[in-house]
Amino acid sequence: MEQKWVALSNTTIGQLMATINTSIIVVALPPIFRGIHLNPLAHGTFPYLLWSIISYMIVISVLLLTIGRLSDMYGRVRLFNLGFLIFTIGSILLYVLPGTGTTAALELIIFRMFQAVGGSFLMANSFAIITDNFPDDERAFALSINSVASIIGVSVGVVAGGILSIIYWRDVFLISVPVGIFGTVWSFLKLKETSPRIRHRIDLPGNITFAAGIVLILLGITYGIVPYNAFPMGWENPYVVISIVLGLALLILFIYVEKHVDNPMFRLDFFKNTGFSIGNFTGFVSAMGMMGLMYMLTILFQGVWLPIHGYPYYITPFWAGVYILPMTIAMGIFGIIGGRIANRNNIRLLTSLGLFISSFSFILIAFLPYDFSYPELAFYLVIFGIGYGLFNAPNISAVMSSVPGDSRGSASGMLNTMRNLGYTASMGLFFSILIYGLSVYLPGSIKTHLNSIGASSLSLYISKMPATEALFSAFLGINPVPSILSTVNKSVLSKIQKSTILYISGNTWYPHVLAPAFGSSFSMVFYIAFAITLVSGIISIFREPLNYKIKNSLRSKEYVKK
């Protein structure tokens, strides 16, 4: 097999597995926590729940840029192969998770972080290896195949997690093992190093300031949605504020360091090229919009729409993934089309058009009622998928083609870092909007519905449900009402008809209560997604046409010495 096709197929497998594991655990957490004998909604387990979801993305976001630079220095294929090996070992450790209770939850988080180290090696090098192996006129198409794998991986992870968790919770992690073993062996045997090497020392000050800054910001965003004292969220928590401010200060220090060291971790002069800078910015915004849409759809389907339409809670994760597939399919088809028709003269047209189409779909979704007609939503999801597909591959091609060959690892690391930061930022921003809306409207909605069925005595118990618990129970497809009723005094329950108790504990009562409280917040989320995507589409118009002058113009003495 010709080397370029070996590179494309191998990196596509790696990218697919790395992104599948970004989302596969989300819908599978309830059966996983049941399997390790830990109630995900019990007091004190929320941090374990949150870190099980975000630990993978945080590690990848922190390491991508560093690994991209190391790959330029020591070989992209070498580090890509190492990533496959680490990723496979992490998958095996997760499958054989030995503990129970909080011990197992902690092991789950640690092993996910270890697996993410391997995933970051794979993601940091995939785009760069493809760019190394494909000529200019074939590069956009090859990158589209790889980028489609990374997009599809997020959606496939949701579906796979839903299916495998119903069969056996450990199978959620087993799926990565045979693929990881195959990819590891094949990459070691077949993938050849073609990238130029740069002989530089490791920029320790740059690595430390960047990693510390990103970690502190992401920790602040994460704990901003965790309750603090009497507040429904943690944005009033001084540690959250300090974490974000200190993280931003370290990133400013990182910029200063990179301008004054001999061998910088990242060449800041790349941002002078609008193809690179605008490509990274729009990549961040589009990733935030796409992942935000995935989060909102997961909550809407699992917490409201599916239970109302008769789906039992235990199977909502699977069907939520299935109902999102129209978007995934459209992304895949139009991602390949976008890569096939992209060239250096129409990058601005495709990227801007894709972002405008995506923003239009957000407005359409914002006006849907919670008890929507699925074909109508599916049509809007296809529209979004078309826009995202047309944008993604040309944007990646523009970024990767705007840097010299010896810095493609760094460029790939930066681009993937911005995308992963977008994924994490979407959780902080959009979940904050939902939690605020729930904290304001949910108690009143609960009291109104309980009064209407003659069960007002239960308001004291159910209306005190924390907004974060309501949000994450919907996000995970769990009905929290039976758990709350188990804590109610029996004398109180005895005064309410059994049929009423069964109705409150059933599939439909809680979703009908939750939906009005979510309503305005959902609309606000999609209005914001529309605005930022529209603005990024306008900004994308001003990127310069794709050219390769930077390959020579940026080779100044300070970067090529030694």
Of 146-160, 239-253, 425-439, 472-486, the range with the lowest mean pLDDT is: 146-160
What is the longest distance spanned by two Cα atoms in the chain? 84
Residue 75 has what DSSP assignment? -
Q: How confident is the model at residue 494 (pLDDT cuts 50, 70, 90)?
A: confident
- pLDDT tens, 497-551? 888 888 998 888 989 888 888 887 888 899 999 999 999 999 999 887 654 444 4
Give the residue among 258, 287, 14, 56 at the shortest CA–CA distance from 146. Answer: 14
Report, as an integer, the average pLDDT of 52-60.
85
- pLDDT tens, 417-469? 888 888 888 888 888 888 888 888 888 889 998 898 888 888 888 888 888 88
Whether pLDDT at 126 is above 90: no
Share of the chain above pLDDT 90, in %: 20
> Highest mean pLDDT: which of 84-88, 182-186, 221-225, 476-480?
84-88
Task: Please give the pLDDT value at position 1.
Answer: 59
Q: How far is it, in rounded angstroms, from Cα 382 to Cα 168?
A: 32
Q: How confident is the model at residue 562 (pLDDT cuts 50, 70, 90)?
A: very low
Task: Please give the pLDDT value at position 196.
Answer: 62
CB 424 within 8 A of CB 61: yes
Three-state secondary structure call for residue 38: coil
- pLDDT tens, 361-405? 999 999 998 889 999 999 999 999 999 989 988 888 888 878 777
The structural domains of the chain, with segments of one domain joined by +, span: 1-201, 203-262, 283-393+436-561
CB 322 within 8 A of CB 500: no
- State the chain's mean pLDDT as an integer: 84
Q: How far is it, in rounded angstroms, from Cα 69 to Cα 475?
A: 36
Q: How far is it, in rounded angstroms, from Cα 66 to Cα 51?
A: 23
Task: Please give the pLDDT value at position 199.
Answer: 67
What do you get for the CA distance between the two ends of the chain, in Å? 36
Task: Please give the pLDDT value at position 253.
Answer: 93
Q: How confident is the model at residue 352 (pLDDT cuts 50, 70, 90)?
A: very high
- pLDDT tens, 86-104? 999 999 999 999 888 889 9
Of 32-41, 75-84, 199-208, 307-316, the range with the lowest mean pLDDT is: 199-208
CB 105 within 8 A of CB 45: yes
Q: How confident is the model at residue 557 (pLDDT cuts 50, 70, 90)?
A: very low
Torsion of CA 538, 544, 546, 550, to 10 degrees: -140
Whether pLDDT at 25 is above 90: no
Report, as an integer, the average pLDDT of 4-26.
84
**Residues contacting residue 128 through CB under 8 Å, at least 6 positions apart:** 68, 71, 76, 195, 400, 408, 409, 411, 412
The tokens for 529 are 């997604």
Report, as an integer, the average pLDDT of 254-274.
83
- List for the chain the helix, strand, coil content (%; round to 5): 80, 0, 20
Task: Please give the pLDDT value at position 344.
Answer: 59
Task: Please give the pLDDT value at position 30.
Answer: 78
Report, as an integer, the average pLDDT of 337-351.
79
Whether pLDDT at 247 is above 90: yes
Q: How confident is the model at residue 413 (pLDDT cuts 50, 70, 90)?
A: confident
Cα dist from 306 to 112, 508, 548, whole Å: 30, 9, 50
Whether pLDDT at 302 is above 80: yes
Kindly report the CATH number that applies to the domain delimited by 1-201.
1.20.1250.20
Three-state secondary structure call for residue 60: helix
